[in-house]
Chain A
Amino acid sequence: EAGVTQFPSHSVIEKGQTVTLRCDPISGHDNLYWYRRVMGKEIKFLLHFVKESKQDESGMPNNRFLAERTGGTYSTLKVQPAELEDSGVYFCASSQPGTDTQYFGPGTRLTVL
């Protein structure tokens, strides 16, 4: 069974540009999560989807970040405009309904110059 996949694996952009990250969860997993690890800090929760609905976006840093999950399958996370402090590794995770275990994707390493 395929795991959680993320694209791209790396992205280098300049401050002020826009970047869109994509996550494909494990098939059948209704729950999808975005997390972020910035340099020197712990991994932090950004938001949670159940199917196409946002359940909790309390971890989103500010309104420059927009997450979508149209159709309840893959999700995108757009950063517009990117700032230097947005650099870090963005992880996506998914889980089956009613279970605690979250499976993580390989992450997208974002560098904002």
Chain B
Amino acid sequence: RKEVEQDPGPFNVPEGATVAFNCTYSNSASQSFFWYRQDCRKEPKLLMSVYSSGNEDGRFTAQLNRASQYISLLIRDSKLSDSATYLCVAQKTYKLSFGAGTTVTVRA
């Protein structure tokens, strides 16, 4: 079983739309959670950390449900520049476990 499972998408949305997707993680001992963004043939870049209380960073909202071992990301008012692969990441001590990524394409 994969440590982090994500819907691969692709999610194809028009500019200005809201898109939401999620992932699940299998290791209940995971301590920290993140969303990373990866552009084609580039390195993963930290988008935001995810907290149980839910947190927002501009147009991005992330939520963690520890009971269900479920993490979500919502993007409001999508921009063309939001097109990327979004990687769900669970961390235990220093070790990051990545999902395979959810591809989002925002069209004009």
Contact = CB atoms under 8 A, between A and B. Distances in A.
Contacts of B42: 106
Interface string A74-105: 00000000000000000101010000111111
Q: Is the interface of A mostly helix, strand, loop or mixed?
A: strand
Contacts of B99: 42
A55 interface: yes
Contacts of A56: 94-95
**Interface secondary structure of B, over-half rule:** strand
Contacts of A103: 46
Nearest to A100: B32
A109 B40 CA distance: 13
A109 B2 CA distance: 24
B43 A105 contact: yes
Contact of B43 (A31, A55, A104): A104
Interface string B83-106: 000010001001111111100000
Interface of B: 2, 4, 32, 34, 41-46, 49, 87, 91, 94-101
